[in-house]
Amino acid sequence: MTTLQRTTSDNSDFQDLVRLLDADLAKRDGDEHSFYAQYNKIVNIKHVVVCYANGQPIGCGAFKEFEQDKVEVKRMYVKPEYRGNGIGLVILTELEKWAAELNYSSTVLETGKRQPEAIRLYQKAGYKLIKNFGQYENVENSVCMMKEIV
């Protein structure tokens, strides 16, 4: 049985999951990892969802304000042994629901071409490819996506 907890970046389970995420991304991104890491700090993130299975943290996601009516989905991760069971979609859906409750109308995100499973998840959830934004504008490995949530 899985449960979801809305929390903040102060949550120690979230911090532990993010360490696992960063280790995974460091392997995938190689020399480019430090570029991405500078944009993935979790300090002061106020909107975090942690997923638990039998009381153990197995996945997470977060969002932060991107523009007045838009949030950016950040730090999505599911432990490898739990992947393929829809956990990522459950977390993403809860983040979207929470953002909509706070009157945001859309979400954006950035992921990498070396994360095809993440791209498939976002496409399955209804995200559409958009032009790379901000710091990712000229980054070959980056894939940016958007979804209207209201």
pLDDT per position as a tens digit, 40-60: 677 779 999 999 999 999 999
Q: What is the 3-state secondary structure (H, E, C) of 74-106?
A: EEEEECHHHCCCCHHHHHHHHHHHHHHHCCCCE
- CATH label of the domain that carries residue 76: 3.40.630.30
* Tens digit of each residue's pLDDT, the chain (150 residues): 899 999 999 999 999 999 999 888 888 666 665 666 556 677 779 999 999 999 999 999 999 999 999 999 999 999 999 999 999 999 999 999 999 999 999 999 999 898 899 999 999 999 999 999 988 898 888 999 999 998
Tell me how many domains the chain contains: 1
Q: What pLDDT was estimated at residue 33?
A: 58
Beta bridge partners of 3: 52
Domain interval for residue 30: 2-148
Token digits for 30?
A: 């190689």
Residue among 94, 112, 105 at smallest CA distance from 47: 94
Beta bridge partners of 49: 6, 61
